Structure 1
Amino acid sequence: MSELHQAAAAGDYDQVTELLRENKCNPNQKDIDWCSKTPLHWAAAKGHTEMVRILIKHGARPCLRTEYGWTPAHFAAESGRLAVLRLLHSLHAPIDKEDCCGDKPVRLAEIYGHQDCVRFLKKAEIECQAYRKLAAREGISVDDTDEEWPKRDKENLEKQQL
């Protein structure tokens, strides 16, 4: 786990800000010891809304997935972090991607009983999809795909079949 991962998980805003300002750590580094979580995954799971904002401002990609296909939105939904979900949605982060089991963040919010998150995500999913269509028509670049995920997903499926 990198210093940035640790600071993001702990909610140490000052340390995260310093590390990012000085370019000491890659905000998109996936920690192989923690299922390929990035600092943004940790911040989203812990509900550190301002940490999420600063990480994204410094290049953290909210589309990156863990080895099980979870985006930061999955972690926020599991933990009932409505403010983080609202922020991710406002920044056009993908909040409607399926993990390796076919579950979207809204399903995790349902499982864990976070009804406020469920209501928000149901509406936000529709808006997210509409924005993608608009972006495609208007030629707006949307960063909503983790390029490593299709390969990793295939590897996970092969392991499950053994």
Structure 2
Amino acid sequence: MVLSQMDAGKALTAAAAKGNAAELQRILQELRLHPDTRNEFSRTALQVMMMGNSKIARLLLEKGADPNVQDRHGITPAHDAARTGFLDTLQVLVENGASVNIPDQNGALPIHIAIREGHRDIVQFLAPRSDLKHANISGQTALDVARASCVPDIMDSLLAHIQS
């Protein structure tokens, strides 16, 4: 069965979004697709994968998926993992070359998003890896976002990394 590139991308991203590793593996092998094949919305499997499934992330990355792929808003899979609070997935992304210092179109790094969402474990993981002096388009650094969110332990954690 021969699929168009668009249909192949649609099948690949659908399997990733459902968290179906067996189907994802089958599609990648049988159709010999690159894991960054895009669907009809110009999104890759890594961009639409079930964020809580680090096995899917690992599979795609092992097959050569770009961990720093950005959507039209500049959002990377690391931004998505930080927003949704999936530390395991974020760790897999970083272990496989994902940068946590790529800003989205608003200048936000994944740590800005994790702070705003209140994901303390994500902030702890990102703090030593992030450019804590980076400001978003509103001029806010990670510490400024933490201060505005009024979560003292997140501020303390960031201050410890800034001062070291």
Structure 1 residue 77 displacement after superposition: 0.5
**Gap regions ≥5 residues in structure 1:** 127-162
Q: Secondary structure at the match of 1:73?
A: helix
TM-score, reference length from structure 1: 0.70
Percent of pairs with identical residues: 32
Q: Take 1:104 and 1:64, find their aligned partners in 2: how far apart are those partners? A: 14
Matched with 1:85 is 90
Distance 1:10 1:97, change over 3 A: same
How far apart, in 2, do the equivalents of 1:63 and 1:32 lie? 20
The higher radius of gyration belongs to 2
* One of 30, 37, 42 as aligned partner of 1:29: 37
Aligned ranges 1:134-145 → 2 under 5 Å: none
Q: Tell me the distance in 2 between the aligned counterparts of 1:48 and 1:32.
A: 23
| Gaps in structure 2 of 5+ consecutive residues | 1-8, 132-164
Count residues in correspondence.
123
The one of 29, 34, 45 aligned to 1:39: 45
- More helix as a share of residues: 1
Alpha-carbon contact 1:80-1:109 (below 8 Å) kept: yes
Q: Name the structure 1 match of 2:153.
A: none
* TM-score, reference length from structure 2: 0.69
SS at the partner of 2:38? coil
Distance 1:2 1:24 in 2: 14
Q: Is 1:3 paired with 2:3?
A: no
- Deviation string, structure 1 residues 18-75 (Cα, Å, up to 9, x no partner): 1112234331123452xx43101122x5221011011011111111100000111011
Deviation (angstroms), 1:112: 1.1
Seen in structure 2, the aligned counterparts of structure 1 residues 30 and 111 have a Cα distance that, compared at 3 Å, is farther
CA contact (8 A) 1:49 1:84 kept: yes
Aligned position for 1:103: 108
